[in-house]
Amino acid sequence: MRGCVRRAVVGLGVMLGAVAVAAVEPDEREASLRLAAKGRIELAFSPWNDPEASLLAAIDEARELILVQAYLFTSKPLARGLIAAHRRGVRVEVLLDAESNRPRSFSVMPELLAAGIPVAVETRYNIAHNKLMIFDPDGGSHAAVATGSYNFTRSARVANAENMLILRGNSALVRAYADNWRRHRGEALALRSLDDLPARDGKRDGKRDGRESDR
């Protein structure tokens, strides 16, 4: 009897795993990209370094476009930096994980929307786990991308063990990130206000079964 129960539990786990990865079927998978390694790398480890300061400097340097993709976004300084860039004429667009950026999460989504920054939320995936800022992808020598484990939160800055890279001087790499961002944006739900957020799906106590937490 105990063996039957064990097999049933394993079978259920396999079924749940299949559901989790069903967003892309195996025969739809694409080959990974291979790009030439070149350019300059800025590396920051928190809590010893200050990734947020590096991001704020990159935001200030942007001239035309900043694309943001975030799982968690609660950092007020980063929100203010993006709003300031928007107000000086830089086009700023933001993609967020729908479930991790609801009003009770302390997300900066309301501030971004109030400032007139286009915000869309990703709902297709169990977790929209990217943490990216893409700067001037069509700007030649000014193109850069920031990526790593670093969420845009105070905890990531002062309490977590995180890493972040800012990659400059490789326009093909930055374009690849921008193309992927636009692909995600094409699937996302644009918001005019918080009222446009979709209803929670498969939630218990505010968390979807199986969703990991980076809080």
pLDDT tens-digit map of 71-87: 999 999 999 999 999 99
Structure tokens at 126: 């169990």
- The strand pair at 91-97 and 119-122 is best described as parallel
pLDDT at 26: 66
Question: Is 188 a member of any domain?
Answer: yes
> What is the C-alpha separation between 113 and 119, in angstroms, rounded?
7
The whole domain housing 56 covers 39-197
Model confidence at 20: pLDDT above 70: no
Which residue(s) pair with 75 in the sheet?
Answer: none
- Count of domains for the chain: 1
Say which CATH number the domain at 147 has: 3.30.870.10
> Coil, strand, or helix at residue 67?
strand
Question: Is 208 a member of any domain?
Answer: no
Read off the pTM: 0.81
> What is the C-alpha separation between 76 and 109, in angstroms, rounded?
10
pLDDT tens-digit map of 72-128: 999 999 999 999 999 999 999 999 998 888 877 788 999 999 999 999 999 988 998
Question: Is 22 a member of any domain?
Answer: no
- What is the mean pLDDT of the segment spanning 180-206? 78
Model confidence at 12: pLDDT above 90: no
SS3 content of the chain, % helix, strand, coil (to 5): 40, 25, 40
pLDDT at 10: 39
Least Cα distance to 63 among 132, 118, 138 occurs for 138
DSSP state of 44: E
pLDDT at 31: 86
- Residues with a catalytic annotation lie at 129, 131, 136
Pairwise pLDDT comparison (203 vs 151), residue with the higher score? 151
